[in-house]
Amino acid sequence: MTTVLAVLVGLLCGYYRGWIDAVLSRFMDVIWAFPVLLLGIALGTALALGGLKIGGFVLAGDSLWIPVMIIGFVYVPYMARPIRGEILALRENEFIEAAVAQGKGPIRIMVSELLPNVVSTVIVFFTLNIANNMLLESALSFLGAGVRPPNASWGTMIADGYEMIYTAPHLTIVPGLLIIATVLSLNVFGDGLRDALDPRAKIRLEH
């Protein structure tokens, strides 16, 4: 969800610029102004109390889709901004002018010309974003604003085990260690993927 929204916003802002870029960028700035965890807690608590009702679309407060949509929403600016920057740079290249001269429309240019040039960036951010999403989901679930019983989550496991930390510490330690191991593995994988897809970044770091 984060990837789809971020790519869409990045393409629209970078290609059209002007008022579209201004409106979407200001909206992302509003989201960026709030700490991710505090924004997630506020949205999770509000939606957990009343659920979500948009026309005929109704979600109960304990639905798994509530934390999924919150996590997918709050991380959009962190991924959309780098994509927007790359699109702005690519927008000035000659191959875009050639595509316009050939009569290609904006949607076709964005899909066939711009999107393939940012695929490596999207893949890297997608991998790293999984780790961030896992951390946020665990934190929200631990604080009672994410996944709710009887659904299982490492965050809820830690919260349940915290009550018995002196008699059964493994109930908290084991899920905590699993979160650390998984997040570290995903970050290392993401860094390796970035080096593989963008060798120039590795050369810049070495110099």
**Domains located in the chain, CATH noted:** 2-206 (1.10.3720.10)
Structure tokens that stand for 71 in this block:
């996590």
Q: Which long-range CB contacts under 8 A does 163-169 form with residues at least 24 apart?
A: none
What counts of helices (H) and strands (E) characterise the chain? 11, 2
* Whole-angstrom distance, CA of residue 54 vs CA of residue 43: 16
Give φ, ψ of 164 to 5 degrees: -120, 35
Q: What per-residue string of b and e applies to 59-81 under the rule 16 or more CB within 10 Å gives b?
A: eeeebeebbebbbbbbbbbbbbb
User: What region does 104 belong to: left with phi over 0, alpha with psi -120 to 50, or beta?
Assistant: beta
- The per-residue pLDDT string of the chain (207 residues; one tens digit each, 9 = 90 and over) reads 899 999 999 999 988 888 988 999 899 888 888 888 888 888 887 777 777 777 666 777 677 788 888 888 888 998 999 899 889 888 888 888 888 888 888 888 888 888 888 888 888 888 888 888 888 888 888 888 888 777 888 888 888 888 888 888 888 999 999 999 998 998 888 878 777 776 555 444 444
Q: Which pTM was predicted?
A: 0.81
Instruction: Output the CA–CA distances (angstroms, integers) from residue 155 to 78, 137, 145, 201, in the order listed.
Output: 23, 7, 10, 35
Are 148 and 48 spatial neighbours (Cβ–Cβ below 8 Å)? yes
